[in-house]
Amino acid sequence: MISRVLLLNKDASSFAPSWGAVILRIHSQANPPATSANTYLSKFRLYDQEIAYIVAEKQFLDEAKMKLENRVAIITGAGSGMGRATAILFSQEGAKVCVADANEKNGLETVKLIKDKGGDAFFVHTDVRKEEDLKKMVRSTVDKYGKLDILFNNAGVLEKPTNVEDITEDSWNKTIDTDLKGVVLGTKHAIPELKKTKGAVISTASHWGVRAYPGYAAYNAAKAGVISFTMTAALELIKDGIRVNCIAPGGVWTPMCQGFVQASADPVKAKKQLESLYPIGRMSEPEEIARAVLFLASDDSPLCVGTCLVVDGGSLARIY
What is d(CA 203, CA 245) in angstroms, rounded to the nearest whole number? 7
What is d(CA 30, CA 316) in angstroms, rounded to the nearest whole number? 37
Name the residue nearer to ligand NAD (CB basis): 145 or 208: 208
Give SS3 for 93: coil
Shortest CB 87 distance to ligand NAD, Å: 11
Shortest CB 210 distance to ligand NAD, Å: 11
Shortest CB 41 distance to ligand NAD, Å: 38
Exposed e or buried b for every residue in 18-35, given b needs 16+ CB within 10 A? ebeeebbebbeeeebeee
Name the residue nearer to ligand NAD (CB basis): 64 or 311: 311
Of the residues 145, 216, 219, 278, only one is catalytic, namely 219
For ligand NAD, the binding residues (CB under 6 A) are 76-77, 79-83, 101-103, 106, 126-129, 154-158, 178-179, 204, 206, 249, 251-252, 254-257
What is d(CA 242, CA 201) in angstroms, rounded to the nearest whole number? 7
Let me know if 47 is a catalytic residue.
Answer: no
E strand spans, the chain:
72-76, 96-101, 120-125, 150-153, 200-204, 243-249, 308-311
Residue 60 parent element (H or E)? helix 49-64
Shortest CB 264 distance to ligand NAD, Å: 14
Name the residue nearer to ligand NAD (CB basis): 8 or 155: 155
Shortest CA distance to 194 belongs to which of 236, 237, 230?
237
Name the residue nearer to ligand NAD (CB basis): 92 or 206: 206
Which active-site residues does the annotation give?
A: 219
